Amino acid sequence: MRGGGLADAYSMYKRASTKDQFTDYEDREENLDRTENGVWKEIGNPSWKRPLPHILVAIISSLLFGYHLGVVNDTLESMSLDLDFSGSTLAEGLVVSTCLGGALLGSIFSGWIADGVGRRRGFQLCALPMIIGASMSAATSTLGVMLLGRLFVGIGMGLGPAVAALYVAEVSPAFVRGTYGSFTQIATCLGLLGSLLIGIPAKDTAGWWRVCFWISTIPAALLAVLMEFCAESPHWLLKLSKQKLVYYYGASMQRGRIDLAEEELEKLMGASHVKYAIAEMSKTDKGDEVDNVRFGELLYGRHFKVVFIGSALFALQQLSGINAVFYFSSTVFKKAGVPTDTANTCVGIVNLTGSIIAMMLMDRLGRKVLLIGSFLGMAVATGLQVAAAISFIPSFAVLYLSVGGTLLYVLAFSLGAGPVPSLLLSEIFPGRIRAKAMALCMAAHWVINFLVGLLFLPMLEHLGPQIVYAVFAGFCLFAVAFVKKNVVETKGKTLQEIEFALLPSH
């Protein structure tokens, strides 16, 4: 797997059209060093191995995210009996939705936390409410404490994915950033699958649901401890060096912060790449602009277009019906005579398989191709679901269409619409607004997620599956057109190249 170098002169970063700039970057040279006039130039790709341990620690947050998404699936029934809310659909709904509400809160503040205390501390602050919340849920004997614990866990869930996307994008070499960015989705799938498998004994073993919650505290504690030994994001350190702050971990001068960035870069890339990387990152740091990012600037300022594209991608991801398909998959498989546990495991395996394939293709085919192919595949899959709902279709054909459509949909989603948006957004947002823009888009994601979950069953009851799945197919096709028109390919480009190509001149 190869990646290109950088342009050999700063003049190549003139704000020409996006198409022209990316065309220029395709022709860049590879093995460059320092020129006679002192301009630092590329000396080849850094090792992909150096940042890998740091990324593997970071994606524990994604593993926890997936685990807590699925942990109540098999445990809710036994939990309701022990906590005396069996038969109350309101209480059962609160156990699920309280976590989603917490995730919305966590995502809203994730950008300010990541910029305020750094990416590493952001991960540790993500782990803390997960440990506290899971422990409360595991030890409680009342519904109220369970809901409070779920709220704490949700806050960690909202904070983790945003910080993970930022961190992985900022510490990964350009030529493998797509591959490493896919790790977050794979970890989420592993967490979800793990929660389903661990939860299987809950129906037959008294109190097993408590074990399921206790188990989640182990990776959360590992995340908090191991992150202490991981590198901080050099992008954040350089950004901090431009701010009017007095101290950072005892370093009181701007030079001290730049030295810290160089030390972290040496851990991540090797000593031979440090000076060039610092020079390139400094080009995008406008010292007089770094201090404050106003919320309104993201909504109607010079960055509105890129923030709108990011929010729209997350919205279309949810409006394509992924959570509804996951929710309805148990019913589909049950009609085919497949037990719920087996059905959930099959869906989880397909999701994981697609995510692994996406990881292998991300830096070969690119983000845009995977997104378009993914949404097209999802449209075809929902079309099969629509066909299965037609009355004159034979019953045996209905089973094949519905089960096949569900599995095809999950596979298509995991190939692009699942892993690409968070990776792409962390790439296309300029460094100055990256964390806060990610927070805004993640918040939009959770709001749309909640609305789709709220409206799906009433729509299914009043309109029927044929119309509902047709609506989802329509959103998938609209997403294809939207991606073709608005998304720029970022494969193999450094974050600085992407920023200079996309940032408006004023």
pTM listed for this prediction:
0.82
- Cα distance between residue 455 and residue 444, in whole Å: 17
pLDDT value of position 48: 82
Q: For the segment 324-353, what is each residue's pLDDT rounded down to a tens digit?
A: 787 777 777 777 777 777 888 888 899 999
CA distance 298 to 310: 11
- pLDDT of 126-153, one tens digit each? 999 999 999 999 999 999 999 999 999 9
Confidence of residue 96 (pLDDT cuts 50, 70, 90): confident
SS3 breakdown of the chain: % helix, strand, coil, rounded to 5? Answer: 75, 0, 25
Dump pLDDT digits (tens) for 49-93. Answer: 889 999 999 999 999 999 998 898 888 888 988 998 888 888 888
315-331 CB burial, b ≥16 within 10 A, e <16: bbbbbbbbbbbbebbbe
Residue with tokens 């679901």: 385
* SS3 state of residue 251: strand
Distance CA 431, CA 425 (A): 11
Average pLDDT over residues 443-449: 87
Query: Distance (Å, rounded) from C-alpha 59 to C-alpha 223?
Result: 9
Say how far apart CA 495 and CA 448 lie, in whole Å.
28
